[in-house]
Copies of this chain bind each other. A is one copy, B any other.
């Protein structure tokens, strides 16, 4: 796969091009950290955006989501989609209202999503989807049976045409505003995991497995 993502009319960054890149490794890092992708496509009756879980497999993104399943049959012959994954890193408070911003890392990708139908590839996708949420989980649960494999729809899209956008660091006020008497800076934001909560229906008290006890985000 190419180290650079495809820059097209759609994937070219307009505003703040200095925050953008077409670097595949940067896109991979953001995709690997995110948990939810927002996926948009034309339903034939207008555009819809739905949240889906996903995982990256090399230069492929696999997607799964109940919210989209009503539309999934229409993917049998492939369907053009856009995927956006956004990580929020902070609120950027400038001296001027105008210069307020957010620190974030995002990927916007375009491609043709197709149904994954081959059993072996579907199995690889399930494994990736689970281990993307919690590394190690796939080996510590009952793996899908025939009926469950058939009942689960997975989409795949090649990551090729995409852009990355990142803002970080302190606010950037205009020079004339720097002496204004307002507090300026950043409030950091991060998605954080709390302590694991056992299912109250678990038949016996059991220790939280090590890979969960040490789970952080």
Tell me the A residues contacting B by CB distance below 8 Å. 9-10, 13-16, 35-36, 38-43, 45-51, 53, 66-67, 69-71, 80-84, 86, 88, 91, 93-98, 100, 102, 104, 106, 108, 110, 126, 130, 133-134, 137-138, 140-144, 148, 151-152, 165, 170-171, 177-180, 182-203, 206-209, 212, 215, 217
Contacts and interface: CB of A to CB of B under 8 A. Distances in A.
Contacts of A108: 48-50, 67
A82 B47 CA distance: 6
The A contact surface, by secondary structure, is: mixed
A47 B39 CA distance: 10
A203 B177 CA distance: 11
The 7 closest A-B pairs by CB, nearest first: A14-B70, A40-B40, A38-B38, A188-B194, A40-B49, A15-B66, A49-B84
Q: How many copies of the chain does the oligomer comprise?
A: 2
Given A16-B66, A142-B95, A192-B189, A49 B38 contact: yes
Contacts of A171: 199
Contacts of A97: 126, 130, 138, 141-144, 148
Contact of A189 (B15, B66, B141, B217): B217
A201 B189 CA distance: 21
Contact of A206 (B38, B137, B183): B183
Nearest to A183: B209
